[in-house]
Structure 1
Amino acid sequence: MTTTTAKTKTTNQEIADDVAFGVQRDETTWQPRSDHDLAIERIDDALDLIAEANAIASDAIPVTRYDVTVIVPVYNEIRTIEQVIKRIEKVMPPATEIIIVDDGSTDGTAEYLQTMPYRAGCQVICRRANHGKGSAVRLAIRHSRGKVVAIQDADLEYDPADLLRVIWPILDGDADAIYGSRYIDGWDDSSLVHRFGNWVLTSISNLMTGLRLTDMETCHKAFDGDMLRSLELKECRFGFEPEITAKIAADHWEIYEVPTGYQARTYQEGKKIGIKDAFSALACMWRYRKG
């Protein structure tokens, strides 16, 4: 019994050695590969990887999967859209897809997007009429190919650099959904009405869903891509926020919050959400309270 065990151990070690050297063992001809041979193989492998990367970059090989998809819904943001795109490209991981949906802009945003230089991994979808942020996001989700799908507004109230905090826990497999909360590290908003409204909507949403969020209405949200694409979403305007929150809660997804920054702008500067959207959000909370 002792002899058999020792022989088995020796055999396993021999197999491990063969795997390490990368050759099939032949007792009559087998010999370790030289350092020169191993170096040549590494060079060949590196050249193959470079050739594949060049082919992908030149669109000879289509990319079908990205680490991250950043969705940018746009409506009349000609002053900031270029900065937002450049900022996303600067801070996001290399394997990032950007999907920009212009939702019927009338200020020149659509014309800019249609004439801007080609960018690899960037899709631009322009609509003739405005259907709402939720509708634009839903359209982009259908076109997304990322392992993680995240949302970034085009108005620079939110810095795309802060979106990195939101996507990483999902990339690492620690969560299914992450919300970037403006309240965790404090939010300098001069509008008490706006701040109170957010608190009311988030509190009611928590009562409906059983979650303990601090900022349900935040723009910075990220989701597991496959799970997000499996959801049936319906809301066209800002009701998208309470709808998706209710549905991921009903499906028992792992959802967490991380801090995100926020620079509030005024209605004179282009802010679009209003009191009608607040009442619509309340209606959505009730409608989707069970998912």
Structure 2
Amino acid sequence: MQHYLSIVIPAYNEARTIHLILDKVKAVELDGGLGKEVIIVNDCSTDATEQAIQSYREGNPGLNIQYYRHEVNKGKGAALHTGIAKATGDYVIIQDADLEYDPEEYNILLKPMLSGVADVVYGSRFMGGNPHRILFFWHSIGNKFLTFLSNAMTNLNLTDMETCYKLFRRETVQGLQLHEQRFGFEPEVTAKVSRIPGIRIYEVGISYYGRTYAEGKKINWRDGFRAIYCILKYNLFR
């Protein structure tokens, strides 16, 4: 029986790039003979994201794409909740619809999982020798502060809690009760996996091809304050 990696892609107004990231997902050959299940959740985009996805599906019947659409915009976290619930693969990885993270690196994250030593693997933008686009000083300071605060609460030693690339055993992530609708997903899921008895969490270095706000980056300072709130909420008030 073939085993699968479920790739969960939340998409909001990504008509310009969704086909490019799907090309990268399609091209990657996964270790361990894994197949690919691509789950796209369109969070009520106002551009041509839906048409771009449907056109790609029609032109690439060999790629297993499951498509879901929110009728109202709920946020990235809500789109991830939908996608995770629909996943049927052995493993689940989060993939943004933009081009900041490279699917060619899935195998880097899968290595400790396929070796049988990990239940959760984070891809860190702040370790390893892979390429990293130089962008915002205060954004990087904010990420490191949020990771530090999260680590202080969870007693983990992550270097990049806010990373998009998080790989889970499906039963692990589907067993969590997740609530955050927007970017609070990251500190919430980190807090909750850290409390699973016997959980084995690994971190590997990845590349990062960041976007500017003019290029479509969506996270802002309000999301940073929400992340602080979520770190405190899901660690202190369980």
Report the TM-score, using the length of structure 1 for normalisation.
0.75
The alignment status of 1:180 with 2:123, answered yes or no, reads yes
- 1:206-228 Cα distance to aligned partner (Å, 9 max, x none): 00100000000000110011111
Give secondary structure in 1 for the equivalent of 2:140. Answer: helix
Structure 1 residue 92, shift from structure 2 partner: 4.0
Query: Which of 273, 282, 286 in structure 1 is aligned with 2:219?
Result: 273
Structure 1 residue 251, shift from structure 2 partner: 1.0
Q: How does 1:46-85 map to 2 (within 5 A)?
A: 66-85=3-22
**What's 2:44 paired with?**
104
The structure-2 alpha-carbon separation of the partners of 1:269 and 1:120, relative to structure 1 and needing over 3 Å to count, comes to closer
**What's 2:201 paired with?**
255
Structure 1 vs Structure 2 CA RMSD: 1.6
Q: Distance in 2 between matches of 1:84 and 1:67?
A: 19
**What's 1:9 paired with?**
none
The structure-2 alpha-carbon separation of the partners of 1:264 and 1:120, relative to structure 1 and needing over 3 Å to count, comes to closer
Give secondary structure in 2 for the equivalent of 1:281. Answer: helix
Amino acid at match of 2:4: D
Structure 1 residue 197, shift from structure 2 partner: 0.6
Unaligned runs of 5+ in 2: none
Q: How does 1:203-222 map to 2 (within 5 A)?
A: 203-222=148-167
**What's 2:233 paired with?**
287
Give secondary structure in 1 for the equivalent of 2:121. Answer: strand
Amino acid at match of 2:214: Q
| Contact kept in structure 2, 1:67 and 1:171, CA below 8 Å | no
| Contact kept in structure 2, 1:147 and 1:171, CA below 8 Å | no
The alignment status of 1:154 with 2:111, answered yes or no, reads no
The structure-2 alpha-carbon separation of the partners of 1:121 and 1:92, relative to structure 1 and needing over 3 Å to count, comes to same
Amino acid at match of 2:136: S
The structure-2 alpha-carbon separation of the partners of 1:92 and 1:101, relative to structure 1 and needing over 3 Å to count, comes to farther
- 1:245-288 Cα distance to aligned partner (Å, 9 max, x none): 00010114111110110011110110000000000001101111
Structure 1 residue 83, shift from structure 2 partner: 1.1
Q: Distance in 2 between matches of 1:92 and 1:284?
A: 36
The structure-2 alpha-carbon separation of the partners of 1:153 and 1:92, relative to structure 1 and needing over 3 Å to count, comes to farther
Q: Distance in 2 between matches of 1:67 and 1:77?
A: 25
Q: Distance in 2 between matches of 1:192 and 1:282?
A: 19
Aligned length: 228
Structure having the higher Rg: 1
Give secondary structure in 2 for the equivalent of 1:82. Answer: helix
Decide which moves more: 169-178 or 255-264.
169-178
Give secondary structure in 2 for the equivalent of 1:267. Answer: coil
Q: Distance in 1 between matches of 2:215 and 2:154?
A: 34
Query: Which of 68, 77, 86 in structure 2 is aligned with 1:143?
Result: 86
Structure 1 residue 129, shift from structure 2 partner: 1.9
Query: Which of 49, 70, 74 in structure 2 is aligned with 1:131?
Result: 74
Flag the structure with more relative contact order, 1 or 2, with Cα contacts below 8 A and sequence separation at least 6.
2
Decide which moves more: 179-188 or 129-138.
179-188
Decide which moves more: 264-273 or 114-123.
114-123
| Contact kept in structure 1, 2:211 and 2:217, CA below 8 Å | yes
The structure-2 alpha-carbon separation of the partners of 1:128 and 1:114, relative to structure 1 and needing over 3 Å to count, comes to farther
**What's 1:89 paired with?**
26
| Contact kept in structure 2, 1:178 and 1:257, CA below 8 Å | yes
Unaligned runs of 5+ in 1: 1-62
**What's 1:22 paired with?**
none
Q: Distance in 1 between matches of 2:75 and 2:201?
A: 25
